[in-house]
Structure formats: structure tokens, C-alpha cells
Structure 1
Amino acid sequence: MRNRFAFQPWYFLFWLIFFVAVRAVFLGYHSAKTAELSFSTVGGIFGYGLRLDASTAAYLCIVPFALLLGAIWPVRASLPTD
């Protein structure tokens, strides 16, 4: 059961890294315009974007977590109590 719960942080981290990587690819693709920006502006793009990315990743983690809880609920309910 511990392995099932260990999946959740890795799933969240996957989405967080995915969003940051996509943002870096986007800025790299538009490198002509990105070059005009200051270093602090580019850092702000990643800094403020990280909060939005974490929020979106959390929303994406809700369904798998709910399914996980639904999958272990019958197991816990069927165990005999002493």
C-alpha cells in the first residue's frame, strides 16, 4: 500500500517538471524576443509561472488520488477488526 501512495508525489513532480520544460522550450523557440528581456524578467517568468504550474499539477493529481483512495477503501473495509 505504501507504494501506491509513493506514486502521488512523483506524479505531481512529473507535471511540474513538464510545465517548466515546456515553458523553457517556448522561450527557446521565441529566442529572438526572449533575448530582448532582462534576466530578472525571465527569472520572473519561471518564478511566477511555478506557482501556476504547481496549482495546475495539483488539479491534475486530484483524479488519480481519488481513484487511489477508492481502490484502497474496499480493502480497508473488508479487513477484520480485533
Structure 2
Amino acid sequence: MWRKNLKKITKKNKNPVSFGHGVVKKFIKNMVGLSPLEKKIYENLNLGKDKKALKTAKKKIGDIKRAKKKEIRLIIF
């Protein structure tokens, strides 16, 4: 019963990403490029095979939510 009274920890309170960390991450991504998995998904997206790209991402990553996030990031890229 006492667990109901505890304040739930939200995602943004749990692990905030600092500004510097985000900048460094973007810089490294631009220098290194895409991983083989990301290249495969990116090619499928360019060919118009969205469903195949999502299936590949889900198979490798393991979770549909993470796969959709990865797909959106690559569409923006």
C-alpha cells in the first residue's frame, strides 16, 4: 500500500542529458558515420521499403519503440 504514495520518477527527471554531452554525440556521429545496421535501414528507406526497414531495425534492436525512434533519426539524417 505504501508504494502508491511514492512519487513516480519521470524520464526527464531520471537521466537528464547535458548540453555538452549532446554536442559531443552529434560531433562523433558526423565524424564516424553510420553503423552497418544504420546503413542497411537507410538504404531500405531510400528505396521506399519502410516496412522492411522497420522489420530489420526491430529484429536487430529488439523493441518496436526503439526501432521506430531509430527509423525517425535516419529519416532526418
Coarse TM-score class (shorter-chain normalised): under 0.3
Structure 2 length normalisation: TM-score? 0.27
Larger % of helix: which?
Answer: 1
Structure 1 length normalisation: TM-score? 0.26
Higher-Rg member (1/2)? 1
